[in-house]
A and B are shown apart, each in its own frame.
Chain A
Amino acid sequence: MNRSEIIKNYSDIVVTKFSSKMWSTFLVLGIIVYLIIAILSLDISQIHKKWSPERASLFALDTYAHKDHVTMKWSEPDDIIISFEGSRWSQYVGPYQKSDGLPERYPEWTSIGPEGETKISFKNGGFANLYDDKVTIENWPDTKETLVFRLDAQGKPYVENVDNLPKWIRVTENKIEVRPSLYERVQVYSKKVEVHRYNLGWNYFWFDFDSPLEPYGIWNAISLSFSGDRVDPNISNFSLLIQEFLNNDMWHHGQILWALLETIFMALLGTLLAALLGFPLAFFAAYNVTPFKFVRTILRRLFDTLRGIDFLIWSLIFLRAFGPGPFTGIFAIAITDTGTLGKLMSEAIENTEEKQQEGVESTGANKTLQHRFGIIPQILPIFISQTLYYLESNTRGAVIIGAMGAGGIGLQLLGAINTGTSWENVMYMSLLILGVVIFMDTMSAKVRRALIGDETLGAELQLAKMAKK
């Protein structure tokens, strides 16, 4: 048989009908038209205008690095201020500074040069030197020369040796900016000089700037807590360690961990309450358990309403009653999922095998015992697997409810993002959330796999699969 014969004899199988061809063409066309409309209406083309790589890279840098500021005013060249992240509350005190009786404490990357200048060493091997009347940078990459920046008679900054200026020095009328990479930055203004020195890592993560344990570092502090003399005579080293860690002023560990606990309990208690309410109600909504159609219809509609009024709106209602806090989240999750679990479980009960129940009935058991031994063993794996599934998705939900005002880690995260400066805290909290969600996810997936074999299927698909077996 050749091709034309096949087409002639088996046209109903081989040849696609014109109408079905058109149908799929129209579908594809429709999708393309919709996507064009959506791209236009959502302003997708605007993305490159709003996206500033400079800002994004600075933001990204801030999540995993920290910076130290060195500021010198031209009017007071002796009073150099070295501070962590430019904060007034975390300033180093060094020999080149007017100290007010504070103990000397200055970072190892600063030193005093032969002419009394302050030398700042960078990771790239170069130095920035702050003199009384000039600023020099020496030994920087791409340039062997020492570049000198001074103020002219009008008080405007200029570069003394202009011949071959590297690309990474930008000279404008009022400012010279030296920025060979994201990690070093020297800015010379007409009023002051500002040096930013970036370092990888989260600084002061364990203990904050002012903590008595800060000079020891975390490992030394831990070994101190088991032996050695008391750092603070009033309190044992171990309690000091815990207290200083939790009360870290820069990372707020205590506050954040408590918020995380609140969020976890929101999800846990919300799901548990939903399970405790939904499970018995499901029996009253299933036709093979409850003969009264009236009761079943009412319960079905109740489930639909609870589920349909989204947890967002429930949390708004509960927020008014309970104020910000875990109860709002717990009840919002519990009410929504009572509806969901109730509906799923009542369907599961209706789809159970009748034979087991009949078997129990044949032994003369009453209705309650029939349900206990005829139905519950069949639906229990599905019930537990569904509850775990909702526990997992509610962990994410609790973060969101938290940000809407119910408190917990969500609210902390929202606060940190809104300040727009503490991106390392945002990163820290995001990683904590990620950790908790992944933990919940893996745990519930493991249990579900053990119970039901296929952890991803929804209740109806699980039932369909079990029925096939």
Chain B
Amino acid sequence: MQSSLPENLIKIESNLKSLTRTRSIYSFLSIAALIAVIYSGLIVAETGNATSIWVGLPKFFDYPVDLFVGSWEYGYRWNLLLLEYLPDLISTINMALFSTAMGTLLAFFLSIFSSRNLIKSKTTVLIFRRIMDICRSFPELVIALVLLYLLGKSALPAVIAIIIHTAGALGKLFSEAIENVDKNPIEGLESCGASWFTRIRFGVVTQALPLFLTYTILRFEINIRASTILGFVGAGGIGEQLYTNIQWKYEADTIAIMFLLVSTIIALDYLSSYWRKSLIGLKS
């Protein structure tokens, strides 16, 4: 059969075969590497863990069941607990909202100074980028823990920590958005003698604003989670209540707080994906 094929086709087929072979060797190697990583990771985890995975797995449902049984026994007044913890939830959301607002403002200024199409000096751009990298790379928790030690237990250290992280994370995204804008409007403004500020206001911000808002909304959602977590280490709000109630083994209260948190996060998730899609004009 093969002998009847023209010579160039035979050549192509042999080429194809060798390519397929190389490809399958690569896939095999990457799968082997993947398995090696998983296996060694499991060994590290098994040695580092207090309880072996085989002991832990059957106990997985113990805690959720405990929680539900506890709140069942608490009775019908459970829904009043939701009202009781609502102020804490609001204070956590407040923390997140304020720090997102401040962080966004900071990120905006940082991003202007780290965009190559707005700043001519390469050193300035580099310095501001490194500042943002460092702000972004520290987990909020690390900054918050140090500030909590220095400033005492209050919401303030958490807010500062989230602002720093938000400024770094959003600043990077903002500056990439700015660098990707169409430069024709900027040049047009420049040609009619617009100042640097006017160029940014009408040439850059108008183009990048939808993307800015998209990123900010996404960040707000992330910051609500962050401020809850920082509540655990002493920043107050619903995180602190959750932590205390878990420590005291108040199942009904714990589940009420979890319910509040989860419903907030889910609601915000829907809201933000709706906003984002309408902002970038994308229909799912």
Contacts and interface: CB of A to CB of B under 8 A. Distances in A.
Partners in one complex: yes
A347 B284 contact: yes
Given A265-B41, A438-B133, A38 B262 contact: no
Interface of B: prevailing SS: helix
A39 B95 CA distance: 10
B98 A42 contact: yes
Contacts of B246: 316
Interface string A323-335: 1111110100000
A434 B137 contact: yes
Contacts of B218: 458
Interface string A57-96: 0010000000000000000000000000000000000000
A456 B277 contact: no
B141 to A, nearest CB: 5
Contact of A304 (B37, B50, B59, B266): B266
Interface in A240-274: 258, 261-262, 265-266, 268-269, 272
B10 to A, nearest CB: 22
Given A31-B101, A399-B142, A325 B261 contact: no
B262 A308 contact: yes
A324 B265 CA distance: 26
A310 interface: yes
A68 B40 CA distance: 43
Interface footprint category on B: 35 or more
Contacts of A262: 44-45, 48
Interface in B16-51: 34, 37-38, 40-42, 44-46, 48-51
B117 interface: no
Contact of A464 (B38, B62, B139, B280): B280
A31 B104 CA distance: 13
Contacts of A317: 60, 63-64
Interface stretch (B107-115, B148-156, B194-202): B148-156
B213 to A, nearest CB: 13
A261 B44 contact: yes
Given A265-B45, A399-B141, A312 B51 contact: no
Contacts of A441: 133, 137
A262 B34 CA distance: 17
Given A320-B59, A433-B139, A42 B233 contact: no
Contacts of B139: 396, 399-400, 433, 437
A345 to B, nearest CB: 13
Contact of B45 (A327, A413, A454): A327
A463 to B, nearest CB: 8
Contacts of B225: 310, 312
Contact of A59 (B40, B50, B133, B150): B150
Contacts of A265: 40-41, 44-45
B66 to A, nearest CB: 8
A35 interface: yes
A47 interface: yes
A321 interface: yes
A330 B51 CA distance: 14
B228 A320 contact: no
Contacts of A12: none
Nearest to B263: A308
A38 B97 contact: yes
7 contacts: A35-B101, A51-B150, A325-B49, A328-B49, A399-B141, A438-B133, A438-B137
Given A41-B91, A414-B233, 14 more contacts: A42-B156, A47-B156, A258-B48, A265-B44, A272-B37, A304-B266, A307-B269, A320-B63, A321-B59, A322-B56, A325-B45, A396-B137, A399-B139, A461-B280
The 10 residue pairs across chains A and B that have the minimum distance between CB atoms: A325-B49, A323-B50, A320-B63, A322-B56, A326-B45, A308-B266, A38-B98, A323-B51, A265-B41, A269-B41
